[in-house]
Structure 1
């Protein structure tokens, strides 16, 4: 797996969990302005998710690492991103993929009684290009 450092976000929570994963997916941006990206092509996306909180669950987790992977990897790995319902009205750019991953993780976290929060999602599309998504405080 990757040995990568990502931009850190300052916070005052006791615990910070980071989950790295990668997945293979294809997408296209069907607009002439997208250049070569208008054609279907694939990436090996590298993803880092940061979850924080002050309290742990009854097992001692903010959230189980496997649950985070299940939310993201099972949904997107070996798929065409454009086929997912969240991208029917918008193109699956790296920025929007990062935002949708945050939405899926935060939706799960809101259901937990100890209320951990997803502070950051990093999606690396190529070795030289990545996006950081950070929600506004009122979205947490």
Structure 2
């Protein structure tokens, strides 16, 4: 995978973890205003997740990299995003996909004793287009 550089999140945490991954998925935006995106089409999404915290777990991790990949890659790779329950009432635009990934990651982080936070999710849909999702401070634990 080609190395990417993403916008930095300013924070005062001791540790910052970034996980890059890519996955193949299809979606469609069922509205005429979406133009060609109204039709089913696929992307190779490149995703970067930024997690930070002050405390490590008993193994010395903020969170194991594999757990992050399991939450995102196993769920979405080689799937139709519109078929996932979180997109039943909302269209899976890149913005919404980034937000849903944040929600999934943050929910998992809050089950951990060391309580790290997901500060940013970047979803690159094409080589020239990406979305950055950052939660509001009050959404973090």
Band of TM-score, shorter chain: over 0.9
User: What runs of 5+ residues in structure 1 fail to find an aligned partner?
Assistant: none
CA distance in 2, matches of 1:87, 1:15: 32
Q: Secondary structure at the match of 2:42?
A: strand
Is 1:129 matched with 2:129? yes
**Corresponding position of 2:102:** 102
CA distance in 1, matches of 2:129, 2:75: 22
Q: How many residues align?
A: 140
User: Considering only aligned residues, what root-mean-square deviation do their CA atoms show, in Å?
Assistant: 0.4
**What residue is the counterpart of 1:72 in the other structure?**
72
Unaligned runs of at least 5 residues, structure 2: none
TM-score by length of 2: 0.99
1:64-104 per-residue CA deviation (whole Å, 9 max, x = no partner) reads 00000000000000000000000000000000000000000
1:12-49 Cα distance to aligned partner (Å, 9 max, x none): 00000000000000000010000000000000000000
Could you list the structure 1 runs, at least 4 aligned residues long, displaced by more than 6 angstroms after superposition: none
